[in-house]
């Protein structure tokens, strides 16, 4: 049995195990599609029917029929958008919220009965987190957040390990990263400097930092993504987050230093309007490199 057949077999197994093959989901008397719809409205409301259809991948005619039933039953309410009277927004009624709370309780009870041991619950949750990272079609589900406790150590270690493996850099590069982060943390200038972590399902995937170079000049630093997070659009999101902060902090120009061998990052800079202002051969961290300086007006 090859990998594709094993995945298909598991699909059949878990739909039976979780009771998803019957006409209704849980003891609710409602279809799986309806239950998912109620969950989405409860989690993201208020939102438009079109946004709901796009998020769930549903045909708009099918969605319209489901919404009409839920509104007749008093589960979902529709009201005009205060910011744009031409649009209508959907949300759960008090009865709909109570229904969702009951569905959540039923779902939790069903899974707890299926897997009563906490250790096995944790093991399955971890395996499913890994599966989601494999299946995620883009970096959109990743969260970008400011640095928190423990993140600096991860940034230092990740830079040291990946650049030693991919570029042959020696330990002096890791020491440089440590000094940069120590200075950033000591300054604690939250109005003018910030660093971010991109993470998904609790796993750190990348980082970027905005640090002050001069009164009107910011420097982009410590931009890195794990190999498995590349090509998903997450680098663009980190880049945009960093530049938006720099603009909001009042900087007029942003600069960065990199090496020519970092071709994917250089291509991203060029696509976003950065200008290569200097390129020169050098030797750094035990390797011959080509230093590059880039800048962008904010």
The CATH number of residue 35's host domain is: 1.10.10.10
What is the span of the domain harbouring residue 197? 143-297
Q: Is residue 124 part of a domain?
A: no
Rounded CA separation 107/251 (Å): 50
Q: Within this chain, do residues 39 and 81 fall inside the same structural domain, yes or no?
A: yes
Tens-level pLDDT at each residue, the chain (298 residues): 788 888 888 877 777 776 666 555 666 677 777 888 888 888 765 777 777 776 677 777 888 888 899 899 999 998 887 666 677 888 899 998 898 888 888 888 888 888 889 888 888 888 887 777 676 655 556 789 999 999 999 999 999 999 999 999 999 999 999 999 999 999 999 899 999 999 887 889 999 999 999 999 999 999 999 988 887 788 999 999 999 999 999 999 999 999 998 888 999 999 999 999 999 999 989 999 999 999 999 9
Q: Is residue 131 part of a domain?
A: no
Rounded CA separation 49/220 (Å): 40
Rounded CA separation 264/251 (Å): 26
pTM above 0.85, yes or no: no
Tally of domains within the chain: 2
Q: Within this chain, do residues 66 and 171 fall inside the same structural domain, yes or no?
A: no
**Cα separations (Å) of 25 from 69, 125, 157?**
17, 21, 46
Indicate which CATH number applies to the domain containing 166.
3.40.630.30
Q: Is residue 127 part of a domain?
A: no
Find residue 78's DSSP bridge partners: 90
Q: Within this chain, do residues 76 and 168 fall inside the same structural domain, yes or no?
A: no
**85, two tokens:** 């009277």
Q: Is residue 134 part of a domain?
A: no
Q: Is residue 147 part of a domain?
A: yes
Q: Within this chain, do residues 79 and 166 fall inside the same structural domain, yes or no?
A: no
Find residue 80's DSSP bridge partners: 88
Find residue 282's DSSP bridge partners: 289
Q: Is residue 38 part of a domain?
A: yes
Q: Is residue 152 part of a domain?
A: yes
């Amino acid at each position: 049995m090859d990998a594709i057949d094993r995945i298909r077999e598991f699909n059949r197994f878990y739909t039976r195990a979780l009771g998803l093959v019957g006409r209704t989901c849980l003891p609710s008397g409602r279809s799986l599609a309806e239950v998912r719809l109620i969950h989405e409205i409860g989690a993201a409301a208020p939102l438009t029917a079109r946004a709901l259809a796009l998020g769930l991948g549903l045909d708009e005619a099918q969605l319209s029929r489901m919404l009409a039933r839920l509104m007749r039953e008093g589960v979902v309410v529709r009201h005009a958008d205060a910011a744009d009277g031409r649009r209508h927004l959907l949300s759960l009624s008090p009865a709909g919220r109570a229904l969702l709370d009951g569905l959540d309780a039923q779902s939790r009870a069903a899974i707890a009965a299926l897997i009563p041991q906490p250790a096995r619950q944790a093991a399955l949750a971890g395996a499913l987190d890994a599966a989601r990272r494999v299946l995620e079609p883009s970096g959109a589900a990743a969260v970008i957040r400011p640095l928190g406790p423990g993140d600096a150590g991860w940034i230092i270690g990740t830079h040291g390990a990946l650049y030693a493996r991919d570029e042959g850099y020696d330990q002096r590069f890791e020491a440089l990263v440590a000094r940069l982060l120590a200075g950033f943390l000591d300054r604690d200038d939250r109005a003018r400097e910030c660093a971010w972590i991109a993470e998904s399902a609790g796993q750190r995937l990348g980082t970027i930092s905005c640090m002050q170079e001069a009164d009107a000049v910011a420097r982009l630093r410590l931009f890195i993504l794990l190999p498995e997070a590349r090509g998903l659009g997450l680098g663009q999101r980190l880049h945009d987050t960093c530049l938006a902060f720099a603009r909001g902090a009042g900087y007029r120009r942003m600069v960065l230093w990199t090496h020519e061998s970092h071709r994917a990052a250089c291509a991203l800079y060029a696509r976003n309007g950065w200008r290569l202002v200097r390129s020169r051969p050098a030797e750094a961290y035990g390797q011959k490199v080509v230093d590059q300086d880039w800048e962008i007006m904010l």
